Structure 1
């Protein structure tokens, strides 16, 4: 089919036409009341165009009118998923929210006025062109027809037959052009306001932040659990001791159960379940991390100074995840080595430090992707393990804190400072 005739097969062409004809009904109703439509003159038609406008401006002050107009425009002016040619989501550019300001009401008033003027004009032109088609069809058969259309027509005869498509072609051009103009005007006048755009961006940002937080939770919790399980299983196999194997299996069971609880909590958040979600672990639950690390064969010395229970919830929870990441990377990359953990609350800040012995022959410089500027959260990592480091960096930065890591003699130090206030 030629490109010129392709709009004839699109549903949206006719829904736009209907949208314009519906707008003209209000003008015809007002015109029937005054000045009357029995034998309207040019002056009467001017009044039909002008008299409804104050009513439309007054109607536009109702906040819900903008919502109703937006829904109509979305459904009738843009192709939906059922259309032969999809609209590409253009209908999303039309707001369906009520008017929230006088600027929104003003734009709605301009839209209603434009829709009525354009709709009334299209309705009158459509009626005249359809009347011309009927008159030409009758004239082709040689029967004179009462003249309704003001358009000049030839005398009755067979030569009127080839002229029948001409009014139809003009009507199609008018309908297609007016429909496109109306759709463009809807995007301009019924589009979201600046406040609505800001609200949408804020909502989208909140969703992205929530997804990032959930991804960090899964990485920290499940990564720690799997690391402990792998280390415990390998140590039990190497030890060949029944008692040690029993303790390793107990540690694996406890770690796996805790990981399942964390996974269930995150999945409940994703599914937006109505049942209450269990609380996220905090530094008050840090003994669970220390116990899992000790069960893996590592010696963990813990020093606590200051009231950890007085820490705000966000600081305590993020501190727990940072500590978890640090101990996980010790076990993953250094094995069961002595670890020293210091938790200090002083001068309005939480100081979290993890130190561990480095394996013999460890390089003096950190692997690719690490530097002293990188945050804590990993004791000694290899290239490619940067997701944990990025996660800890984000956690520390989100709370206005800082983190550093580096080699000190034969130890690797991870130090994080988080403001308590």
Structure 2
């Protein structure tokens, strides 16, 4: 099928035509009363177009009108699941929220006036063109009634081709007018600056929440798998039933904690109404230290200051940072001595994790997503985190403000 005829096979072409026709109805209803349509003059036609404007402006002041017009525009002006158009979109950028400001009401008023005037213009023009078509159909028998037609009616052998051209012109008018009205709808009924800002903030919140969940799963599941791998390797190498029992106990405990974290995250994703268990905080760090020691690491801990009085976000994020730091030690350095220093004062939390580097192997491959997650967590809380070799050791240094 030729490209210029393709719009005739699309449902959206006819829904747009219906939208234009519906928009002109109010003008014709008012015209029946004033000035009447009995042989109207050009001045009367202009009056028909002008009569609805005050009423439309008044109606546009009602906030719900913008919502109703947005719903109509979405359904009838834009390709979607109902239209056979490639690349159809479910969200064409037309708002369905009520007017929230005078700017929204003004844009709605302009849209209503444009919709009615465009509908009237299309009805008048297509009516003239279809009149030419019908007049040309009767040209071979006897002269057809051409009263009310502004366009000339061709008689004789040229009537048929002129009728075809008039029919195509009427269809083209509907197609072009529909596209122009859709373009205007996306600008006059599109989201206001406040709505765009709210949508952007919501999208940002969603992305932040996804990143947080991804970090939670990475830290929790990564720690559990690392401990399981280290413990399984150590138990196989030791060939000691008592050591194997302790290793399996450590794997069980770490796996249980990871399953609790996974269940909590899944409940959040499912929007489950059941209460969600609290996230672990820095006061729960003993189980991290126990799993690290059970894996063979010698952890030396020094804590100063009231850790239990840390603000919730700082304490929870501090726990995850410590979890990732210990996981990093076990994954890349193995069971080596680890020094952990936690200091809390009135202004900040300082956490420092240092471990020996087993030769060149420990100094490479330590810049993965886990360490990046530590730095991201610190930045979101207004603090800072540094990771890397320091005086022949690997160091994770975190400073978080308490306010």
Specify if TM > 0.5: yes
1:270 and 2:269 aligned: yes
The match for 1:11 is 11
Aligned-pair CA distance for 1:283: 0.5
- Residue 173 to residue 410, structure 1, CA distance change in 2 (3 Å): closer
The match for 2:208 is 209
Conserved in 2, the CA contact under 8 Å of 1:138 and 1:145? no
- Distance in 2 (CA, whole Å) between partners of 1:180 and 1:153 is 29
The match for 2:364 is 382
1:11-50 correspondence to structure 2 within 5 Å: 11-50=11-50
Q: Tell me the alpha carbon deviations over residues 1-34 of structure 1, each in whole angstroms, 9 at most, x when there is no partner.
A: 2222222222222111111110110101111122
Is there any run of 5+ residues in structure 2 with no aligned partner, and where? Answer: none
1:416 and 2:401 aligned: no
The match for 2:373 is 391
Aligned-pair CA distance for 1:193: 1.5
1:221 and 2:220 aligned: yes
Aligned-pair CA distance for 1:136: 1.8
Moved more, 314-323 or 129-138: 129-138
Aligned-pair CA distance for 1:271: 2.1
Conserved in 1, the CA contact under 8 Å of 2:363 and 2:389? no
1:123 and 2:105 aligned: no
The match for 2:198 is 199
User: Moved runs in structure 1, 4+ residues, more than 6 A?
Assistant: none
Q: Tell me the alpha carbon deviations over residues 226-256 of structure 1, each in whole angstroms, 9 at most, x when there is no partner.
A: 1111111111111111111111111111111
1:99-114 correspondence to structure 2 within 5 Å: 99-114=99-114
1:222-237 correspondence to structure 2 within 5 Å: 222-237=221-236
Conserved in 1, the CA contact under 8 Å of 2:371 and 2:387? no
Conserved in 2, the CA contact under 8 Å of 1:141 and 1:158? no
SS at match of 1:141: coil
- Residue 88 to residue 154, structure 1, CA distance change in 2 (3 Å): closer
Conserved in 1, the CA contact under 8 Å of 2:357 and 2:363? no
- Residue 250 to residue 62, structure 1, CA distance change in 2 (3 Å): same
SS at match of 1:139: coil
SS at match of 1:168: helix
The match for 1:353 is 352
Over the aligned positions, Cα root-mean-square deviation in angstroms equals 2.0
1:260 and 2:259 aligned: yes
- Distance in 2 (CA, whole Å) between partners of 1:45 and 1:304 is 88
The match for 1:370 is none
1:2-401 correspondence to structure 2 within 5 Å: 2-89=2-89, 91-142=91-142, 144-145=144-145, 147-155=147-155, 160-359=159-358, 362-363=359-360, 380=362, 382-383=364-365, 385-401=367-383
Conserved in 2, the CA contact under 8 Å of 1:140 and 1:159? no
Aligned-pair CA distance for 1:87: 4.5
- Distance in 2 (CA, whole Å) between partners of 1:281 and 1:254 is 15
- Distance in 2 (CA, whole Å) between partners of 1:247 and 1:159 is 100
- Residue 49 to residue 203, structure 1, CA distance change in 2 (3 Å): same
The match for 1:373 is none
Moved more, 326-335 or 135-144: 135-144
Conserved in 1, the CA contact under 8 Å of 2:348 and 2:399? yes
Aligned-pair CA distance for 1:90: 8.4
- Residue 291 to residue 73, structure 1, CA distance change in 2 (3 Å): same
Is there any run of 5+ residues in structure 1 with no aligned partner, and where? Answer: 368-379
Aligned-pair CA distance for 1:273: 2.1
Moved more, 175-184 or 40-49: 40-49
Aligned-pair CA distance for 1:79: 1.2
- Distance in 1 (CA, whole Å) between partners of 2:265 and 2:53 is 55
- Distance in 1 (CA, whole Å) between partners of 2:277 and 2:216 is 14
The match for 1:376 is none
Q: Tell me the alpha carbon deviations over residues 244-300 of structure 1, each in whole angstroms, 9 at most, x when there is no partner.
A: 111111111111111111111112222222222211110011011011111112222
- Distance in 2 (CA, whole Å) between partners of 1:104 and 1:88 is 27
Q: Tell me the alpha carbon deviations over residues 339-384 of structure 1, each in whole angstroms, 9 at most, x when there is no partner.
A: 221211114111111122332xx24xxx8xxxxxxxxxxxx56326
- Distance in 1 (CA, whole Å) between partners of 2:74 and 2:215 is 39
- Residue 410 to residue 46, structure 1, CA distance change in 2 (3 Å): closer
- Residue 144 to residue 395, structure 1, CA distance change in 2 (3 Å): closer
SS at match of 2:382: coil
- Residue 87 to residue 67, structure 1, CA distance change in 2 (3 Å): farther
- Distance in 1 (CA, whole Å) between partners of 2:122 and 2:390 is 82
Aligned-pair CA distance for 1:385: 4.5
